[in-house]
Amino acid sequence: MNTERQKKESLLRNSGFQTIIGSLLCIVIGLLVGYLVLLIINPGGAAKAITAILKNFLYYPSAIAAKKYFGTTLVKASALLMCSLSVLFAWKVGLFNIGAAGQYVVGAGACLYCGLKFSLPWYVCLIAAVVAAAAAGGISGALKAYFNVNEVISCIMLNWMGLYSVNMLLSAVKEQSTPYTKPLTSTNKSALLPNAGLDQIFSKNEFVTIGLPLAVLMAVAVWIILEKTKFGYELKATGMNKSAAKYCGMREKRNIILTMVIAGALAGFGAGIFYLTGIEQWMVQQTSVPAMGFNGIAAAFLGGSNPIGAVFSSYFIQHITSGGTYVDKTMYCSQISDLISAFIIYLCGFVLFFKVWLNRYLDKRNEKQNIQKGGAA
């Protein structure tokens, strides 16, 4: 009996298990709050709206159509996953990479410009996206390492600089009659990522490419680097205490810069595997940074700042975001799903408090049991 109790307590004290339970509670409470908001706005369609958001592609009665739109959700989720990995990689090293959005923009601009202006193949365009975004991340890292400029401030500034720079750059490859860039599908098909037969799995969805498995492989690679290598240990040690890392012989400035370079590269890779599918064109007149980068922050924390957890949290965030498009627009706006995501993101901040509360509860329970055993003896 005692062995079973010890096993149960060991599971409850496991940090990974606590993170999973805490994240699930955030999701459930966030959905309930979102449902209450729907009831306040229009009670008559609340149940139907929350069902549509949760069903997403299952909204379609046809299995073929559902599978096709499931593939589209996965394509968007793969880009979100890379932005999430960008955020959590920096977070593990003690840096808050709020610039994932701007790095994503720079990566998108680089790959589209190479594909449309110079008609380069997909692998060159993808490398260009990674290198450009890595350079953008490296600027924030250098400012932090050498001038102690807070990375949040420098990243926010670079987000907007990156957006307007990309808008100007891609104006050279836009359609004459619209504010959108020329489509890769008709301008340079060699810039499109290969499908490798994955499109057939999702009802001939041409946007499903090798980007899906590559994104998952990148998540596994990030986990291995952070948890199983000396390099990852050095980076995390630098994040925990920069001065201690320095006196231990670690090159703390290099580690900070390298962290932001890698974080930027991950965001740029996400932009590459998204835009090189041909699923979207860039609008050169947009005045706001794409939400993909900021949603990556949500996915990172909802996944417990774990690369493997980010795979599932990224899909969930994208699932309900895409589900918002199926809400009855005569009753609610499609952004209602973003509001629900915002509630869940806000609640993610309480996961740490949940862990502290659970550990204190277990400590008090053990203390009470020990007192009872002492009294019985």
Q: Specify whether the CB–CB gap between 262 and 134 falls below 8 A.
A: yes
Instruction: Show the tokens assigned to 113.
Output: 């410009």
Residues 6+ apart with CB under 8 A from 119: 187, 188, 190, 191
Q: Specify whether the CB–CB gap between 153 and 282 falls below 8 A.
A: no
Report residue 90 CA to chain centroid gap.
13
Locate the domains of the chain by residue range. Answer: 19-376
Taking CA atoms, 164 is separated from 113, 140, 199, 205, 284, in Å, by 14, 18, 34, 32, 9
Q: What is the pLDDT along the chain (377 residues), one digit of tens a residue?
A: 567 777 777 888 887 888 888 888 888 988 999 999 999 999 989 999 999 889 988 888 899 999 999 999 999 999 999 999 999 999 998 999 999 999 999 999 999 999 999 999 999 999 999 999 999 999 999 999 999 999 999 999 999 999 999 999 999 999 999 999 999 999 999 999 999 999 999 999 999 999 999 999 999 999 999 999 999 999 998 888 888 888 888 888 999 999 999 999 999 999 999 999 999 999 999 999 998 988 898 899 888 889 999 999 999 999 998 888 888 888 888 678 778 877 877 787 677 678 788 888 888 888 888 787 766 65
Residue reference for tokens 């050169």:
284
- DSSP code, position 193: P
Q: Specify whether the CB–CB gap between 175 and 238 falls below 8 A.
A: no
Residue reference for tokens 């291995």:
224
Q: Specify whether the CB–CB gap between 193 and 273 falls below 8 A.
A: yes
Q: Rounded to whole angstroms, how far apart are CA atoms 109 and 80?
A: 17
Residue reference for tokens 């991340």:
137
Instruction: Write down how long the chain is.
Output: 377
0.85 surpassed by pTM: yes
19-376 CATH pick, 3.30.720, 1.10.357, 2.60.40, 1.10.3470: 1.10.3470
- CA-wise closest residue to 331 among 47, 14, 6: 47
Instruction: Show the tokens assigned to 361.
Output: 């509860």
